[in-house]
Structure 1
Amino acid sequence: MNAYSHRIVADHRVMLGKPVIKGTRITVELILRKLAQGATAQDLIQMYPHINQEDISAVFLYAAEVLANEEMLDSAA
């Protein structure tokens, strides 16, 4: 079992199967985009009070695992 699997789930009935924080409709993608736009973890917890720091950490672990199994496409191609 992955370190994030009890917090990050995917169900085709919720957000079209995109990975979300368990018990919410908050996608991993949304959290990563908000952080990339300058939000802090504390900002996100204030915006979405039903998530916590462990959920945000699970988002990072999930994203790292997905990226570990990806190949970078050659942008020159």
Structure 2
Amino acid sequence: MTNIKDYINIDQEILGGQPVFKGTRVPIETLFLHLEKGVSLDEFLEDFPTVSKEQAISVLGIAEKIMTSKNIEKLYEAAA
């Protein structure tokens, strides 16, 4: 099982607590914004060389598990 803390870091001293890829200052949101704009994963990794392919794929896997959870309504309510 993937441990979120192995891939995502939240620290008030780094970008005001915005979730970033562990060991970097690259916000997780940046990956999703790039993909949303049609930028390939390989292009994202070229733009942000401090993020490993393993990290990016793991974060996408975490997002998939969250979005396909049977408890998605509870998760959405907690985030709202």
8 A contact 2:19–2:28 mirrored in 1: yes
The one-letter amino acid paired with 1:46 is E
Ranges of 4+ aligned residues in structure 1 off by more than 6 Å: none
Q: Hey, which of these two has a bigger chunk of helix by percent?
A: 2
Q: Which runs of 5+ in 1 are unaligned?
A: 73-77
Deviation at residue 13 of structure 1 after TM alignment:
0.7
- RMSD over equivalenced CA pairs, Å: 2.2
Structure 2 matches for 1:49-68, cutoff 5 A?
49-64=49-64, 67=67, 68=69
Structure 2 matches for 1:1-77, cutoff 5 A?
2-64=2-64, 67=67, 68=69, 70-71=75-76
Q: Which runs of 5+ in 2 are unaligned?
A: none
Q: 1:55 to 1:11 in 2, by over 3 A?
A: same
8 A contact 2:10–2:19 mirrored in 1: yes
Quick one: higher RCO (CA 8 Å, sep 6+), 1 or 2?
A: 1
8 A contact 2:26–2:51 mirrored in 1: no
Percent identity for Structure 1 against Structure 2: 24
Question: How many residues get paired?
Answer: 72
TM-score w.r.t. the length of structure 1 is 0.74
